[in-house]
Chains A and B, each alone.
Chain A
Amino acid sequence: MAYDKFVTLTSRAVPLPVENVDTDQIIPARFLKAVERKGFGDNLFRDWRYDKANQPIADFPLNDSKYSGKILVGGKNFGSGSSREHAAWAIYDYGFRVVVSSFFADIFKGNSLNNGLLPVIVSPAFLEKIFAAIEADPTTELEVDLENQKITLLTTGESEEFEINAYKKHCLQNGLDDIDYLVNMKEEIEAFER
């Protein structure tokens, strides 16, 4: 799937200090009935974001006007559960380009990387610092530098390096996906089958 190239992002961040945010919360199953990839952002965190009367729940961070930005910061074990790629699509479609957590579930991490959404894994201590900084000042900005694999809290200048597979980094920096790569391998795959 085509997505924007990722270089460096400087943005405020939306905090979601909850652990084990599963993909059923990110997008409930009843919103998975589309046959095209569009509009999933409207239902991002649907049941945490809206009440039964479809009114926004004021204290949910996405509804809180003091928070904004293209970075979502979540508690540990973010994206667990169902393999639905719709979760990554919903987060991207809403406008996020980075999700920060101290720990991601495997399938969600892979799905994000395949869709231009960068999962940034930080230490639990640094995650706490980010949450504290945003709580103290919601205009706090973070800088995510993919080339140098570095995330910086711009208010204090504190930074941490993050890991990313070199191949996936190359894909993100160039807006490439795996399918082009695999389709170009057709002869090798046919030879393997024999």
Chain B
Amino acid sequence: MEAKTLFDKIWDAHVVKKVEAGPSVLYIDRHFIHEVTSPVAFLGLKNRGLKVFRPDQTTATPDHNVPTIDQELSIKDELSRHQVEMLKKNCDEHGITYHGLGSEGHGVVHIIGPEMGLTQPGMTIVCGDSHTSTHGAFGAIAFGIGTSEVEMVLASQCIMQPKPKKMRITVDGELGKGVTSKDIALYIISKISTSGGTGHFIEYAGSAITSLSMEARMTLCNLSIESGARGGMIAPDDTTINYIKGRQFAPKGADWDKAVEYWKSLKSDEGAQFDTEYHFDAADIEPMITYGTNPGMGIGVTATIPLGEELQGTDRTTFLKSLKYMDYNPGEPMKGKKVDYVFLGSCTNGRIEDFRAFAQFVKGKKKADDIHVWLVPGSKAVEKQIIAEGLDQIFEEAGMALRQPGCSACLAMNDDKIPEGKYAVSTSNRNFEGRQGPGARTLLASPLTAAAVAVTGVITDPRELM
């Protein structure tokens, strides 16, 4: 039998039909929707006189537009409020489960899916959001789609997709002190660039990957899209199975045993072929920080900004445009640079382990005087857990306050915007121009590095304070 990759096994099991000289019709097991990319899709259904084909395989939550303080009150921004209300109305009309603001199940869509056990190995999962790649951590094919595709999935539970190429990224060895899966991801993207993964689906492998916790794996897979890949996945193992066991929508009883048996078969066969392969050594990875305006512009926190002298033509002008936006110069060290804001949260780093790591770091320390620290849990469940473990007390003693769940400062669509010209060390996923607010300057980093910055006010190597 032909050796298959993990990706092939799941993809092939979901092809309803292959269109001649065209894409495959791929069956989708799980569809997550949020308020921003779904309304036009629902409108399309209405115009065609269609109903949602499989509402029970669809889950909704509003996350992008929501405020992260005073959620009990009505959303102030009229357009945001309307978009959130529209999602609820569409869900009610089509019988879709809706986890509204303030409810137990509310949160960032890529955080609540895994929490509830909706995300499982072997599934195909889509959402009108590029960070759907997060769910690949479970050994699922999960990828972001556009609104036309959201409409397709609502209408037929299928999507038309050409089969991507396959890439394997192997990271072997042991991670150094203070190095997290966020650093692995930023390191990989700095090596292969923001377009290195385009046209591919990634499988992450190697001892440094299998030793990661489930939440750390989600952070890594979440950032797959920042390398241009549609998604990234990790073969399910005991870590995966133990995480899912007992969750609300996890299989139960005999179904559980059957599911586990299947999940254990989900791995790339010996000798399976990948179109592209990369190997990295975990020992080479430092805590990372970005200095430019795309996630590929990352360096070790102790390094200096590249000179970019080898770049030519539009490569060079793009590099200089980026540094001009950041108001940085080639060759400068990152350490010691002034920071105005710290943001802990988002679908990348808004899970309980991120808050534990941050809390452990700032425990007994004080927030730097002139820095704003926004701590935004990824979901209501994360918020409750933070409080149950007393982490909120640690934050309070350090002079930092916990906010309420949402996408928050990741994308400047709600009230949480970084002011123009200010620098934010952010645990989110994109440092594009204006991503966190018009004129805002974003430096992507791990929760540990963010914690170090929160207590010093400047870019700091977290290892020096551990």
Residues in chain A within 8 A of chain B (CB atoms): 1, 17-20, 22, 24-25, 28-30, 32-37, 47, 52, 75-77, 80-86, 88, 103, 105-107, 110-111, 114-115, 128, 165-168, 177-179, 181-183, 185-186, 188-189, 192-193
Contact between chains at A85 and B314 (CB < 8 Å):
no
Write out the residue numbers on chain A whose beta carbons fall within 8 Å of the beta carbon of B63: none
Q: How far is the CB of A86 from chain B (nearest CB, A)?
A: 8
Q: Which of B22, B129, B420 is in CB contact (< 8 Å) with A166?
A: B22
Q: List 18 additional contacts besides A47-B434, A83-B128, A86-B147; criterion CB under 8 Å.
A: A17-B314, A24-B432, A33-B82, A35-B83, A82-B129, A83-B130, A83-B144, A85-B40, A106-B199, A111-B147, A115-B148, A165-B162, A166-B22, A167-B19, A178-B149, A178-B152, A181-B160, A182-B152
A-B contact count (CB 8 A): 187
Contact between chains at A107 and B195 (CB < 8 Å):
no
**27 A-B pairs whose Cβ atoms sit less than 8 Å apart in the complex:** A19-B315, A20-B294, A22-B294, A24-B432, A28-B412, A29-B411, A29-B413, A32-B64, A33-B36, A33-B65, A33-B80, A35-B40, A77-B198, A77-B228, A81-B225, A83-B129, A86-B147, A106-B230, A110-B149, A111-B146, A166-B22, A178-B160, A179-B156, A185-B17, A185-B156, A186-B156, A188-B17
A80 to B21, CA, bound (A): 26
A133 to B63, CA, bound (A): 46
Q: How far is the CB of B261 from chain A (nearest CB, A)?
A: 21
Write out the residue numbers on chain B whose beta carbons fall within 8 Å of the beta carbon of A76: 195, 314
Contact between chains at B44 and A1 (CB < 8 Å):
yes
Q: How far is the CB of A75 from chain B (nearest CB, A)?
A: 5
Write out the residue numbers on chain B whose beta carbons fall within 8 Å of the beta carbon of A24: 411, 430, 432-435
Question: Contact string, B29-54, partner A, CB cutoff 8 A, digits 1/0?
Answer: 00000001101100110001010010
B358 at the interface (CB under 8 A from A): no
Contact between chains at B195 and A29 (CB < 8 Å):
no
Contact between chains at A84 and B294 (CB < 8 Å):
no
B456 at the interface (CB under 8 A from A): no
Contact between chains at B149 and A165 (CB < 8 Å):
no
Q: How far is the CB of B150 from chain A (nearest CB, A)?
A: 8
B79 at the interface (CB under 8 A from A): yes
B124-166 at interface with A (beta carbon < 8 Å): 128-130, 144-149, 151-152, 155-158, 160, 162, 164
B86 at the interface (CB under 8 A from A): yes
Q: How far is the CB of B234 from chain A (nearest CB, A)?
A: 20
